[in-house]
Amino acid sequence: MTAYTVAIDDSVAGWKTVDWAVDAVDPAVDDVRLLTVSEFFGEALTRSEHRLDAAEQRLRTVHPGLSVTHDVTGGPTADRLVADAAL
């Protein structure tokens, strides 16, 4: 089993990471956690949540039984991603 954390934003690179995960996961045994950072003076929380919902839908379209969770965290993006990776 592999547990993937996929950080996503509205960039092309962020969506390519989701596409990579679609190809990489084994839905029978893997878990995917989608993560996005909503910066203090950045986008609205609903926009972050919509992005995560769209990424989850992209994964589930190909792998309906895949275990997918998602989180929105706040703060400076790089700091939050580094802190999250340490968990």
CATH code of the domain covering residue 68: 3.40.50.620
Residue 1: CB atoms within 10 A of its CB come to 8
Give the number of domains in the chain: 1
Tell me if residue 49 falls in helix, strand or coil. helix
The DSSP result for 9-48, as a single string, is -SSHHHHHHHHHHHHH--TTT-EEEEEEEE-TTSS-HHHH
* Domain encompassing residue 38: 3-85
Question: pTM of the predicted model, to two decimals?
Answer: 0.83
Residue 23 has pLDDT above 60, yes or no: yes
Predicted confidence at residue 73, as pLDDT, reads 83
pLDDT tens profile 36-80: 887 655 567 788 889 999 999 999 999 999 999 998 887 777 787
